[in-house]
DNA sequence: GGTGCGATTGCA
DNA sequence: GCAATCGCACCA
């Protein structure tokens, strides 16, 4: 008998598509992290949000390129990690071509044996021990990567406006958040449109 | 050099 | 409903 085939990693081609396409396609994919002490952490993604281009008022790229948001301007396939409210880290996966700032915020994953451990972007970063040391890190490297997992069928995907961006005017109403319907690890309100 | 605030979370 | 807590963008 043979061992279960190792999960294939998502390649750079996966990330070099527009942020909304990547966001939708990320549901069911497995986020994987190798800790410095050797431990392996893995959990399927169940909630994401797309941030695409400098016209998106909710995006960190809206003011144009700065020191902070520079990773968003790179070609897809690296992480963009920032500190929010002075205490929580958020993991983003940079997408698209170089010089087009775009990324997908990973908001929740189905943590094994504790559905709430990675429910919300700050909690997810904490669960995976992700901080700014991983800002700009390759998603094809030894520390952080994604595996094919099991894509989620269209009937199981919900699409709503994004969380926590009410300041973004008309962009706040855009339905750029995707999550797995009814999944216990999804964060935030369930009654959004 | 000073000021304002946030792609959140947890507790009162 | 609101405090916690700090890097960084922006202005002087």
Residue A108 CA to nucleotide C6 C1', Å? 24
Contacting residues for A21 by C-beta, under 8 A, at least 6 apart:
none
Question: Can you give the distance from the CA of residue A164 to the C1' of nucleotide C2 in angstroms?
Answer: 16
Residue A4 above 80 pLDDT? no
Residue at the smallest CA–C1' distance to nucleotide C6: A86
Helix then strand then coil, in percent of chain A rounded to 5, is 20, 30, 50
Please state the pTM of the whole predicted model: 0.96
Classify A151 as helix, strand or coil.
coil
Q: How far is the CA of A21 from the C1' of B3 (A)?
A: 39
**A18-71 per-position pLDDT tens digit:** 999 999 999 999 999 999 999 999 999 999 999 999 999 999 999 999 999 999
What's the rounded Cα separation, in Å, for the pair A182 and A147?
23
Protein contacts on strand B: list nucleotides below 7 Å from a Cβ. 6-10
| Helix, coil or strand: residue A122 | helix
Using the 8-state DSSP alphabet, how is residue A121 labeled?
A: H
């Amino acid at each position: 008998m043979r061992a279960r085939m190792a999960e294939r990693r998502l390649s750079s081609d996966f990330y070099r598509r527009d942020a909304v396409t990547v966001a939708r396609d990320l549901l069911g994919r497995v986020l994987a992290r190798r800790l410095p002490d050797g431990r392996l952490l893995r959990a399927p993604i169940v909630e994401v949000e797309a941030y695409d281009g400098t016209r998106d008022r909710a995006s960190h790229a809206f003011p144009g390129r700065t020191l902070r948001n520079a990773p968003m301007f790179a070609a897809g396939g690296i992480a963009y990690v920032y500190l929010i409210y002075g205490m929580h880290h958020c993991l983003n996966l940079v997408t698209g071509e170089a010089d087009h700032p775009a990324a997908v915020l990973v908001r929740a994953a189905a943590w094994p044996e504790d559905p709430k451990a990675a429910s919300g972007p700050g909690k997810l970063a904490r669960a995976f021990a992700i901080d700014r040391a991983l800002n700009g890190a390759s998603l094809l490297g030894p520390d952080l990567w994604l595996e094919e997992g099991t894509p989620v069928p269209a009937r199981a995907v919900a699409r709503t406006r994004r969380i926590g961006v009410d300041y973004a005017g008309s962009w706040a109403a855009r339905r750029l958040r995707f999550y797995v319907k009814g999944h216990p690890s999804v964060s935030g309100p369930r009654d959004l449109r």
